[in-house]
């Protein structure tokens, strides 16, 4: 299985190849790319007492909370976002990305990021959960 491609071909990497690389890299490179490592491993939420854990999906509200907590008088505000429109587009896009990923690889990637989901309060996205629910049992 090919996991490495030169920069010349990087634009042609499929999502399935990317998923498999993310799963392959930690076993073969102890210092895996920080972008693909688990947040649990990177931020160590069980060892560091964070004052606040924000989420990308609630960035607007989280920014308000953080700015209130630091009692800023500067008038700093976070830019408005169209969260509903972005959320529905993200779910559609996520569904298209994962439609060609075998269930086995979906289970492996969910297992790899399981602590991120648990500790950071995320749920498996509906479009992925439906794929898992529709899996036909092996006879």
Enumerate the H helices of 29-136 as residue ranges.
Answer: 39-43, 59-69, 83-98, 103-112, 114-120, 126-133
Domain boundaries, the chain: 12-133
Neighbouring residues of 78: CB distance < 8 A, sequence distance ≥ 6: 59, 60, 63, 64, 67
Q: For residue range 27-85, what is the model confidence (pLDDT) as tens digits?
A: 777 676 778 888 888 888 778 888 888 887 788 888 888 888 887 666 666 666 665 55
pTM: 0.70
CA distance 60 to 14: 32
Q: Which residue has the tokens 């075998």?
A: 102
Q: Rounded mean pLDDT of 19-34?
A: 80
């Amino acid at each position: 299985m090919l996991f490495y491609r030169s920069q010349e071909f990087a634009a042609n990497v499929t999502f399935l190849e990317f998923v498999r690389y993310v799963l392959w890299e930690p076993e073969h490179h102890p210092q895996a790319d920080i972008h693909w490592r688990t947040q649990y491993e990177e931020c160590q939420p069980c060892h560091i007492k964070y004052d606040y854990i924000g989420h990308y999906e609630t960035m607007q509200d989280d920014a308000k909370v953080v700015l209130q907590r630091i009692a800023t008088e500067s008038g700093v505000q976070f830019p408005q976002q169209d969260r509903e429109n972005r959320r529905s587009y993200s779910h559609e896009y996520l569904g298209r990305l994962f439609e060609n990923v075998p269930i086995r690889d979906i289970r492996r990637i969910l297992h790899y990021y399981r602590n991120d989901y648990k500790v950071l309060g995320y749920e498996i996205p509906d479009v992925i959960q439906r794929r898992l629910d529709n899996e036909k049992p092996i006879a």
